[in-house]
């Protein structure tokens, strides 16, 4: 035989050996489950564009978190829907706001579950932008530095309530450094920051804005989120966040950015997270509902691809499903 037959196929054709030489392994302790918390009692509002996802009142979120922790999922990421929105997003930094109340209740019920909080203003502002609006040359835009001050207050309020980690998702320049300084000055030097370091202006956040009731009322987020065409800029963004004190760097969205995940992991060697966002979730759900995709296979394949690209942590609305599937006999998946 002039060429080697079965060179690659020998191991592949034996299911047990194939399983033993897998290069990428997914585990439940890589998963972070995002949750939406809203005012009220005993509320579980289905989110139309994200079948299987809900807005939870604090009491219902606590019950849900018990189940999440029982599945072995180590962390949740909380997003808040306030009782009232205003131009400065004041509930975002209210110490009695929705997130501090949720953090306290969840930590009390599930002390071992890591509670990570989203730090951003868009869920809290009446205009839906991630910061304070200013007018420059006749055009409205987000004021970077005025926003920083409010983000710091928000992060400190979350830490004071007992958050294990804060996750700024606003994409203002300098926010990681400002938040680090604010946390340190207030006695929270031990609270790490998971920075949305490379966050693209993506259409895949559409369903989230429905879930968090936060679509921008005018314009878009292109003045603060990254242009989809750029990759070197992502490395500069990550470098800045690392220098300012980020403990974990996050790339978002996940599947459209696997190249970025890989470059970031290789360049910085930092704990790296990728966020499989609302639109990625909705796309798989919609296709699965129509019978066009096998949901379990699609979820396992995409999560594996995200891990294979270099993500240590995966933030995904499929976390509970994944935890169940990862607990099954590996020969069945």
List interacting residues with ligand PBG (CB under 6 A): 118, 120, 122, 130, 169-170, 205, 208-209, 221, 277-278
- By beta carbon distance, the residue nearest ligand PBG is 208
Tell me which of 107, 252, 265, 285 is the catalytic residue.
Answer: 252
Q: In terms of CB distance, is 130 or 190 closer to ligand PBG?
A: 130
- The closest alpha carbon to 22, from 31, 32, 12, 30, belongs to 12
Q: Is 199 a catalytic residue?
A: yes
CB of 130 to ligand PBG, least distance (A): 5
CB of 187 to ligand PBG, least distance (A): 27
Residue 40 neighbours by CB under 8 Å, 6+ apart: 57
Q: In terms of CB distance, is 99 or 190 closer to ligand PBG?
A: 99
Q: In terms of CB distance, is 147 or 169 closer to ligand PBG?
A: 169
SS3 226: strand
Backbone angles phi, psi at 298, to 5 degrees: -65, -40
DSSP letters for 103-130: HHHHHHH-TTSEEEEEE-STTTBTT--S
CB of 79 to ligand PBG, least distance (A): 7
Backbone angles phi, psi at 154, to 5 degrees: -65, -45
- The closest alpha carbon to 249, from 224, 212, 274, 218, belongs to 274
CB of 153 to ligand PBG, least distance (A): 17
CB of 200 to ligand PBG, least distance (A): 10
Q: In terms of CB distance, is 57 or 125 closer to ligand PBG?
A: 125
**Distances in whole angstroms, Cα of residue 313 to Cα of each of 31, 59, 143, 271, 273:** 6, 27, 31, 8, 4
Q: In terms of CB distance, is 130 or 264 closer to ligand PBG?
A: 130
Q: Is 297 a catalytic residue?
A: no
- The answer to whether the beta carbons of residues 168 and 151 sit under 8 Å apart is yes
CA distance linking residue 280 with residue 78, whole number of Å: 19
CA distance linking residue 274 with residue 315, whole number of Å: 6
- The answer to whether the beta carbons of residues 226 and 201 sit under 8 Å apart is yes
- The closest alpha carbon to 113, from 164, 156, 148, 161, belongs to 164
Q: In terms of CB distance, is 51 or 59 closer to ligand PBG?
A: 51
Chain position carrying tokens 């978002």? 252
SS3 166: strand
Tell me which of 85, 199, 265, 285 is the catalytic residue.
Answer: 199
Q: Check whether the bond before 263 is cis (ω within 30° of 0).
A: no
Q: In terms of CB distance, is 57 or 169 closer to ligand PBG?
A: 169
CB of 195 to ligand PBG, least distance (A): 12
CA–centroid distance for 160 within its chain: 21
CB of 151 to ligand PBG, least distance (A): 11
The residues annotated with a catalytic role in the active site are 199, 252
């Amino acid at each position: 035989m002039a060429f080697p037959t079965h060179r690659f196929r020998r191991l592949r054709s034996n299911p047990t050996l194939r399983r033993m030489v897998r290069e990428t392994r997914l585990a439940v302790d890589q998963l972070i489950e995002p949750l939406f918390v809203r005012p009220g009692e005993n509320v579980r509002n289905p989110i139309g564009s994200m079948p299987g996802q809900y807005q939870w009142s604090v009491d219902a979120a606590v019950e849900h978190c018990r189940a999440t922790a029982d599945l072995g999922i180590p962390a949740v990421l909380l997003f808040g829907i306030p009782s009232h929105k205003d131009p400065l997003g004041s509930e975002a930094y209210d110490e009695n706001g929705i997130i501090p109340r949720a953090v306290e209740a969840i930590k009390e019920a599930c002390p071992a579950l890591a509670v990570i909080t989203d730090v951003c203003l868009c869920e809290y502002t009446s205009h839906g932008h991630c910061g304070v609006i200013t007018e420059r040359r006749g055009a409205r835009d987000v004021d970077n530095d005025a926003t920083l001050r409010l983000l710091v207050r928000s992060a400190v309020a979350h830490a004071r309530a007992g958050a294990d980690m804060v996750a700024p998702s606003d994409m203002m320049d300098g926010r990681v450094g400002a938040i680090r300084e604010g946390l340190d000055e207030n006695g929270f030097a031990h609270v790490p920051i998971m920075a949305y370091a490379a966050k693209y202006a993506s259409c895949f956040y559409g369903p989230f804005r429905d879930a968090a009731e936060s679509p921008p009322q005018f314009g878009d987020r292109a003045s603060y989120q990254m242009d989809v065409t750029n990759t070197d800029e992502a490395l500069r963004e990550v470098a800045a966040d690392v220098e300012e004190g980020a403990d974990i760097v996050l790339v978002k969205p996940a599947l459209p950015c696997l190249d970025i995940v890989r470059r970031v992991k290789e360049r910085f060697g930092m704990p790296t997270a990728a966020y499989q966002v609302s639109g990625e979730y909705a796309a798989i759900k919609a296709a699965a509902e129509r019978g066009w995709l096998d949901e379990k296979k699609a979820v396992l394949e995409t999560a594996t691809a995200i891990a294979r690209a270099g993500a240590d942590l995966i933030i995904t609305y499929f976390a509970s499903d994944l935890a169940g599937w990862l607990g099954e006999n590996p020969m069945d998946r």
